[in-house]
């Protein structure tokens, strides 16, 4: 499963072709786990949920040490490193559904509209769960069975 999770980093700027659900969801789980670990490091360095609640008394007691700043820096670097592969894997996932990658821009714009954004986010989540089109499509061969294309057709 780790091979699938690292594959979007290997295909960093590759917006062509198709990606399976396994590649997308393994990547999502890897990114989520890294974020959890980095936020854990930040919390070990002094970040507390009580201080984030907006309580002035808790914020006054907040002392963040160097471990917090290390975690925050690593979180920022990882966030920047993950932006392009995240977009690319979603575009390839749309290609697997035989949809243009420009649909992703439409979902991003729709998510900025208050009520429509919630519906668009759920629709995007559903699209990421749906299987790809079987066989080759206009974006390439089927990643589950790349040899299924008929050679002599």
Mean pLDDT of all residues in 46-64: 65
HSE of 73, CA atoms in CB hemisphere, 13 A: 7
Angle between helices 2-10 and 66-96 (to 10 degrees): 90
Position 66 scores a pLDDT of 84
Position 59 scores a pLDDT of 59
**How many domains does the structure of the chain reveal?**
1
Between CA 48 and CA 9, with CA 76 as vertex, the angle to 5 degrees is 130
In a domain, residue 153? The reply is: no
In a domain, residue 151? The reply is: no
Of 106, 101, 104, nearest to 116 by C-alpha is 106
Q: Which domain holds residue 13?
A: 2-141
- In total, the chain counts a number of residues equal to 153
In a domain, residue 132? The reply is: yes
Position 94 scores a pLDDT of 95
In a domain, residue 146? The reply is: no
Top-confidence residue, 12 or 53: 12
Give the confidence band of 86 by pLDDT, cuts at 50, 70, 90: very high
Q: How far apart are CA 19 and CA 94, in angstroms?
A: 8
In a domain, residue 74? The reply is: yes
Q: Is 115 within 8 Å of 109 (Cβ atoms)?
A: no
Between CA 2 and CA 90, with CA 83 as vertex, the angle to 5 degrees is 70
In a domain, residue 147? The reply is: no
Determine the longest span between alpha carbons in the chain, in angstroms. Answer: 75
Q: How far apart are CA 62 and CA 101, in angstroms?
A: 44
In a domain, residue 128? The reply is: yes
Mean pLDDT of all residues in 32-46: 90
Sign of the four-CA dihedral 7, 12, 13, 15:
positive
Give the confidence band of 153 by pLDDT, cuts at 50, 70, 90: very low
In a domain, residue 148? The reply is: no
Mean pLDDT of all residues in 91-100: 94
């Amino acid at each position: 499963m780790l091979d699938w999770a690292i594959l979007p980093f290997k295909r960093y700027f590759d917006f062509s072709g198709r990606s399976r659900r396994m590649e997308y969801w393994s990547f999502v789980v890897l990114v989520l786990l890294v974020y959890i670990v980095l936020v854990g490091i930040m919390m070990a360095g002094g970040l507390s949920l009580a201080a984030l609640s907006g309580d002035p008394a808790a914020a006054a007691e907040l002392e963040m040490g160097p471990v917090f700043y290390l975690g925050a820096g690593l979180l920022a670097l990882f966030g920047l490193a993950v932006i392009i592969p995240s977009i690319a894997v979603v575009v390839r996932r749309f290609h697997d559904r035989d949809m243009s990658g420009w649909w992703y821009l439409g979902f991003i714009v729709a998510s900025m509209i208050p009520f429509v954004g919630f519906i668009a986010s759920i629709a995007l989540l559903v699209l990421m769960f749906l299987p790809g089109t079987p066989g080759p499509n206009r974006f390439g061969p089927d990643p589950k069975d790349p040899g299924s294309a008929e050679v002599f057709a």
